[in-house]
């Protein structure tokens, strides 16, 4: 990665963080480099958000997202407020426009984890402060920044690396396509037939990939995807909102488990990633997720550093 400049980071101030596809390659590089900088010198950033507050709206349960954002704000000298729909009027039918305008008078940024990407876009349209997408049905950009940070730390490079994602064509896979396209990684998504990624999002990512030379592919063959892969990634087969399909998906995804047989096709020094929580014995075997190729806890820790970089970049003049 190129060294960041003040101009790179300054360009991010006050912007929304809804999908990495809205950001240029230089924006994403700057954000990733900033995460490394903050991680390596945390004391230097201990009061950069002093006196600022982050409103955190959660429609879904969360471990890593809530803790990383809340701890991150504290470590940066700011304050985070946990807001659930059952405690807010938005959960009782208040228009998103009204919630956005009111919260903008109280807090310096809004983070939201919800099912509907359209709701986040509406919130950002009306809010007068930056809105951060902490997960929707379409994208998981904060996770992708942490993923890229983890890969870079273990591989010391991103350009030209092959990342194979095996499983459901969900929000995680969409954001991996986006960050791969922005940072020059080659990304192959392997899903069962009928569970492919959203084709509109794939085409947007393909267009973005033209600027960096990355190659994006889709396949229904997991063996093709992992062949010579530097990074292998999976997620649960039934994400939030699809729990009722769990039994059916267990059957449909049976051949997509990441195990020693499948990973034998990857490079000898491949690393394994999972955004967690994981269902051991389903999408990944215990020998892989708990084996020496696994970097899932480094990846989980990096949610904190990625989140801090996003918060500082968007909230600090």
- Could you give the CA distance from residue 28 to residue 22 in angstroms, rounded to a whole number? 10
- From the candidates 117, 140, 204, 249, give the one annotated as an active-site residue: 140
> Is 171 annotated in some ligand binding site?
yes
> Is 89 annotated in some ligand binding site?
yes
> Is 303 annotated in some ligand binding site?
yes
Residue with tokens 């991010």, as numbered in its chain? 12
Is residue 25 a contact partner of residue 182, using CB atoms and an 8 Å limit? yes
- From the candidates 27, 75, 108, 113, give the one annotated as an active-site residue: 113
- Could you give the CA distance from residue 243 to residue 143 in angstroms, rounded to a whole number? 21
> Is 275 annotated in some ligand binding site?
yes
> Is 101 annotated in some ligand binding site?
no
> Is 75 annotated in some ligand binding site?
no
- From the candidates 117, 174, 274, 303, give the one annotated as an active-site residue: 303
- From the candidates 27, 168, 230, 235, give the one annotated as an active-site residue: 235
Helix axes 296-315, 25-40, angle to 10 degrees: 110
- From the candidates 174, 275, 293, 305, give the one annotated as an active-site residue: 275
Q: Is 113 a catalytic residue?
A: yes
Q: Is 143 a catalytic residue?
A: yes
Handedness of CA 282, 236, 32, 74 (dihedral sign): negative
Copy the structure tokens of residue 22.
């809205």
For the residues of 193-210, what is the DSSP string, one character each? TT-PPPHHHHHHHHHHHT
- Could you give the CA distance from residue 99 to residue 119 in angstroms, rounded to a whole number? 12
> Is 64 annotated in some ligand binding site?
yes
> Is 140 annotated in some ligand binding site?
yes
- From the candidates 143, 257, 299, 307, give the one annotated as an active-site residue: 143
> Is 85 annotated in some ligand binding site?
no
Q: Is 303 a catalytic residue?
A: yes
> Is 280 annotated in some ligand binding site?
no
> Is 212 annotated in some ligand binding site?
no
Copy the structure tokens of residue 122.
């509406």
Q: Is 275 a catalytic residue?
A: yes
Backbone angles phi, psi at 17, to 5 degrees: -125, 85
Q: Which residues are known binding-site members for carbamoyl phosphate?
A: 62-65, 89, 113, 140-143, 275-276, 303
Catalogue the active-site residues: 113, 140, 143, 235, 275, 303
Q: Which residues are known binding-site members?
A: 62-65, 89, 113, 140-143, 171, 235, 239-240, 275-276, 303
Q: Which residues are known binding-site members for L-ornithine?
A: 171, 235, 239-240
């Amino acid at each position: 990665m190129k060294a960041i400049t003040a101009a790179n980071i300054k360009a991010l101030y006050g912007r929304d963080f809804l999908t990495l596809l809205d950001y240029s390659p230089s924006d994403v590089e700057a954000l990733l480099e900033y995460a490394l900088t903050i991680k390596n010198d945390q004391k230097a950033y201990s009061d950069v958000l002093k006196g600022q507050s982050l409103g955190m709206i959660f429609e879904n349960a969360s471990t890593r997202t809530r803790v990383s954002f809340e701890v991150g704000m504290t470590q940066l000298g700011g304050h985070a407020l946990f807001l659930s729909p059952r405690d807010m009027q938005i959960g009782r039918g208040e228009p998103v426009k009204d919630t956005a305008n009111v919260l903008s008078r109280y807090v310096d940024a809004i983070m939201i984890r919800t099912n509907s990407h359209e709701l986040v876009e509406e919130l950002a349209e009306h809010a007068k402060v930056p809105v951060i997408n902490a997960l929707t049905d379409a994208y998981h950009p904060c996770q992708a920044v942490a993923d890229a940070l983890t890969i870079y730390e273990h591989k010391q490079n991103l350009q030209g690396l092959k990342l194979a994602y095996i499983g459901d064509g969900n929000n995680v896979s969409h954001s991996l396509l986006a960050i791969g396209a922005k940072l020059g990684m080659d990304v192959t998504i392997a899903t069962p037939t009928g569970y492919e990624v959203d084709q509109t999002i794939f085409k947007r990512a393909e267009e973005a990939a033209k600027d960096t030379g990355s190659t994006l592919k889709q396949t229904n063959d997991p063996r093709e995807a992992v062949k010579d892969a530097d990074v292998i990634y999976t997620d649960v087969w039934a994400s939030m909102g699809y729990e009722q399909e769990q039994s059916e998906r267990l059957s449909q995804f049976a051949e997509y488990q990441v195990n020693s047989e499948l990973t034998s096709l990857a490079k000898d020094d491949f690393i394994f990633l999972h955004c967690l929580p994981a269902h051991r014995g389903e999408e990944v075997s215990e020998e892989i997720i708990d084996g020496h190729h696994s970097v899932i806890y480094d990846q989980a820790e990096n949610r904190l550093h990625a989140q801090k970089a996003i918060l500082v970049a968007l909230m600090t003049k």
